[in-house]
Amino acid sequence: MHISRRNLILTASSALAIGSICGSQANASLVDEHTSAFTGGAELGTGVIELDAPEIAENGNTVPISVSAPGAVSIMLLAAGNPVPAVATFNFGPLSAARSGSTRIRLAKSQDVIAVAKMEDGTFQTAQATVKVTIGGCGG
């Protein structure tokens, strides 16, 4: 998926991003905690969210991530391997034309980026993508 500059600015102005990336040890239980706080323990479906992340980050300090989920009222982004996994939560009003958001995040190491979306009908969706952060070198 390609997001043009114009779309990016539109989505940025229609979404409220809350992010913080620093702190101590991340673990699976933190990701579970965030997810259950967001979903109230509801079951997670798949197939609706389009999560666009590079397979290998060109620069781990600023990794472009785009997420889109038609019919979502809220999308939460988590970086499972970061000390503090919570990256951003995008909230959409009923008049939001596109239910999508883009941001750049810092990834401490290779890890999964996870998106969880709350849909208008109250159900939840998820998607994830593995982003490799490498020290590089040695191309063919």
Partner 1 sequence: MISRRDFLQLAMSTTAIYGASSFGNWGKLSAQQLITQDKLLEFETFGNVSLIHITDIHAQMKPIYFREPEINTGVGANRGKVPHITGADFRRFYGIKDKSPSAYALTFDDFSSLASTYGRVGGLDRVSTIINSIRSDRPDALLLDGGDTWHGSYTCHQTQGQDMVNVMNALKPDAMTFHWEFTLGSDRVNEIVGKLPFAALGQNIFDSEWDEPAELFPPYKFFERGGVKIAIIGQAFPYMPIANPGWMFPEYSFGIRDENMQSMVDEVRAAGAELVVCLSHNGFDVDKQMAGRVDGIDVILSGHTHDALPEPILIDKTIIVASGSNGKFVSRVDLDVKNGQMMGFRHKLIPVFADVIAPDPYISNLIEKQRAPYASQLSEVIGKTADDQTLYRRGNFNGTWDDLICDALLNEREADIALSPGVRWGPSILPGQEITREDIWNVTSMSYPQAYRTQMTGEFLHIVLEDVADNLFNPDPYYQQGGDMVRVGGLGYRIDISKPQGQRISDMTLLKTGATIDPIKSYWVAGWASVNEGTEGPEIWDVVENYIRKQKTISLSPNNSVEVIGT
Q: What is the rounded (10 degree) CA torsion for 37, 39, 44, 45?
A: -140
Question: Residue 99: which residues within 8 A CB-CB, separation 6 or more?
Answer: 68, 69, 70, 71, 72, 73, 75, 92
Nearer to partner 1, 109 or 120 (CB): 109
Structure tokens at 61: 């300090």
By CB under 8 A, residue 47 contacts partner 1? no
CA distance 48 to 132: 24
By CB under 8 A, residue 43 contacts partner 1? no
Which of 13, 46, 55, 121 is in the footprint of partner 1 by CB under 8 A? 55
Stretch that binds partner 1, among 10-18, 20-28, 36-44, 128-136 (CB under 8 A): 128-136
Instruction: Give me the 95-114 binding string for partner 1, x by CB under 8 A, dash otherwise.
Output: ---------------x----
Nearer to partner 1, 86 or 105 (CB): 105
By CB under 8 A, residue 132 contacts partner 1? yes
CB of 95 to partner 1, least distance (A): 26
CA distance 114 to 126: 7
Size of the site for partner 1 (CB under 8 A): 24
CA distance 4 to 60: 22
CB of 93 to partner 1, least distance (A): 26
